[in-house]
Structure 1
Amino acid sequence: MILTVTLNPAVDVSYRIPDFQLDQVNRCQEIQKTAGGKGLNVTRVIHCVNGKALATGLLGGANGNLIRQQLDQSEITHDFVGIQGETRNCIAILHDDKQTEILESGPIITIDELETFLGKYEELLAQVEVVVASGSLPKGLPTDFYGQLIEMAHRYQKRFLLDTSGASFEFALATKPFLIKPNIDELSAWVGRMIRSEEEIIHALNQIASYDIPYIVVSLGKDGAIAMVEGDIYRVTVPSIETINPVGSGDSTMAGFAIALEKNLPPVEVLAYGSSLGTLNALELQTGYVQKEKVPEMLARVTVEKR
């Protein structure tokens, strides 16, 4: 089983307003509310392909109850810690072929809630083989919190996959997650310079390699990925597609990595499976969703070459 960790989840609220007007009253007929957060996207995709996932994290208030209800309706197993604060909303206004987002910062987590979650997390570690943690940290959690979770996973000999950015990403590197997935911007921020070429990516990978992280995957979006696995460099190429909604493709990729690693597949197959699910997500209107029956065909179209 795969444990997914979402510490700052949200209710994703989508308003489709084709003729959105600033400083005017806008009426919306098409509204969608979805259990959101990067970790929950990972969870849904694992569920889509019949993988076994257990979702945990922090939920509070009416929004937290809505997320629990949606997970129950989808028959997704979950065990979240309740908090006093209200789980945030993330609002997207879809208009004129554009997307305007309003992101709430979320609740402030108390020390007692932090300690309760750590106890729950340690309890759940004994039930799983792989841990995937995705997204930002809510207020109240220390910047090195992901590092604490990684060190606990090490004690239980569980592989920990991390997808985050900024200071929490930098603090986590020293604790040696099993897999990280920075994009170009995140990698550039880490090395302190703009990266523009594949050779510069490889040079940066060699810098991060000093942290002894087994899988370092640099996401290139529609251009695939470049990865360093146990010191070897791999180039992942994905097919050209007509993208419908790329949001959640990185989370879908993480879901694929987790599933493949749970099965102890070799690096080429891990990279191919993750990239396949990420590409399939971009073909769907719904965020964090893939069609299981399309996976074999996409796998056949993704190439992974060792450099």
Structure 2
Amino acid sequence: MILTITLNPSVDISYKLDELSLDTVNRVADVSKTAGGKGLNVSRVIQQLDEKVAASGFLGGSLGQFIRKRISEQGIEDFFVSIDGETRNCIAVIHEGQQTEILEAGPTINEKEADEFLNKFSENVQKVDYVTISGSLPKGLEKDFYARLVKIAHQHDTPVLLDTKGELLHQTLEGDNKPYLIKPNQEELADLLGEKVTDDTQIVSALQSQQFSGVPWVVVTTGSSGAFVKHNEEIYRVSTPKVDVVNPVGSGDSVIAGFAVGFSRGLSDEELVKYALTMGVLNAMEAQTGSVSPDKVDWCKDQIRVERI
């Protein structure tokens, strides 16, 4: 089983309008509501790939119940911790080829709730083969919280795939216990290292930074062009096919799902990289965030090129 962590999930609401009018009433007929958050995108893709998956984090109030109901319907095991606060809404208004987002900050986690999560995580991490941790922290948690999760997982020999950025990523990499995989995009890589990373040569050079020492897998996604992947001392350039993009949101999460599933299935390096990047491409071809078509996996995987540098 794979465990995904989404500490600040949301109910994602999408309103589609022909035109957004300011300072007046806008009526919308095309509405969708989904269980949102980067880790829940990972969960859905893992489930669609027919692997057993559980999801955890913090949920509260009626919106938390909505998420519990949705993931149960999707065949995702519920390892979430209940809190007193209310799970947040995140609203996207799609209009005239644009997307305007209104994102709530979410609840504040108190010390008792944080401790309960850590205790349950210590139990749950022993039941699974891999853990993915995605996104930001809710209010109330210290910036070393991910580092603490990685340490607990390390104590039980459970590898962690971490997808976060900025100070959260920096603090985790500073710890004695390293994630098994991290996945910064090109911009996040530059921010982490505090230097320009604008071309392929600079990406390859950045991957050799001592900051990544002890991290077996470093995946740098570069949008529609593909990715650079470092496994121990080997570095690969990955080229992905051009496709008709419907919705690229969630493609990075889908790549994380692909790596988690590929690790679980014991794929070789090249097959693993192809498989994982396939999920990012297939997600971009779907309207729903965190969704892939399993029947297109072989077709897409055959279009991906992996070159050892």
The answer to whether TM tops 0.5 is yes
Name the structure 2 match of 1:205. Answer: 207
1:305: Cα distance to partner?
1.3
Q: Hey, what does 1:280 align to over in structure 2? A: 282
Q: CA separation in 1, counterparts of 2:170 and 2:22? A: 39
Which residues of 2 match residues 38-117 of structure 1 at below 5 A?
38-117=38-117
The worse-fitting range, judged by mean Cα deviation, of 263-272 and 106-115 is 263-272
> What does the per-residue CA deviation read over 1:21-75, in whole Å, with 9 as the maximum and x for residues that have no partner?
1222111111111000000000000011111111111101111000001111112
Match of 2:198 in 1: 196
Give the Cα–Cα distance (whole angstroms) in 1 for the partners of residues 276 and 212 of structure 2.
Answer: 24
Aligned to 1:149: 149
Q: Percent identity?
A: 46
Match of 1:298 in 2: 300
Counterpart code for 2:248? P
CA distance in 1, matches of 2:208, 2:191: 16
Q: Which amino acid aligns with 1:43?
A: S
**Corresponding residue of 2:246:** 244
Distance 1:202 1:152, change over 3 A: same
Contact 1:41 1:288 survives alignment (8 Å): yes
Residue 159 of structure 2 corresponds to which residue in structure 1? 159
TM-score using structure 1 length: 0.98
Farther-moved stretch of structure 1 (155-164 vs 20-29): 20-29
Q: Distance in 1 between matches of 2:276 and 2:100?
A: 28
Offset of residue 210 of structure 1: 4.7
Q: What do you get for the CA RMSD once the two structures are aligned?
A: 1.0
Q: TM-score, normalised by structure 2?
A: 0.97
Structure 1 Cα separation of the partners of residues 30 and 189 of structure 2: 37
SS in 2 for 1:289: coil
The Cα of 1:208 is off from its aligned counterpart by 4.5
One-letter code aligned to 1:160: V
Change (3 A) 1:210 1:259: closer
Distance in 1 between residues matched to 2:148 and 2:97, nearest whole Å: 42
CA contact (8 A) 1:209 1:231 kept: no
Provide the aligned length of Structure 1 versus Structure 2.
307
Q: Structure 2: give runs of 5+ residues left out of the alignment.
A: none
The answer as to whether partners of 1:249 and 1:281 remain within 8 angstroms in 2 is yes
Partner Cα distance (1:166, 1:104) in 2: 20
User: What is the DSSP-based 3-state SS (H/G/I as helix, E as strand, rest coil) of the residue aligned with 1:126?
Assistant: helix
Mean CA deviation greater in 297-306 or 263-272: 263-272
Question: Does 2:141 match 1:137?
Answer: no
The yes-or-no answer on 1:168 pairing with 2:168 is: yes
Q: Which runs of 4+ in 1 moved over 6 A?
A: none
Q: Distance in 2 between matches of 1:51 and 1:224?
A: 25
Q: For residues 258 and 187 of structure 1, what CA distance do their matches in structure 2 show? A: 21
What are the Cα deviations for residues 260-306 of structure 1, in whole angstroms up to 9, with x where unaligned?
A: 11122222122111100110000000110011111111111111111
Question: Which residue is 1:214 aligned to?
Answer: 216
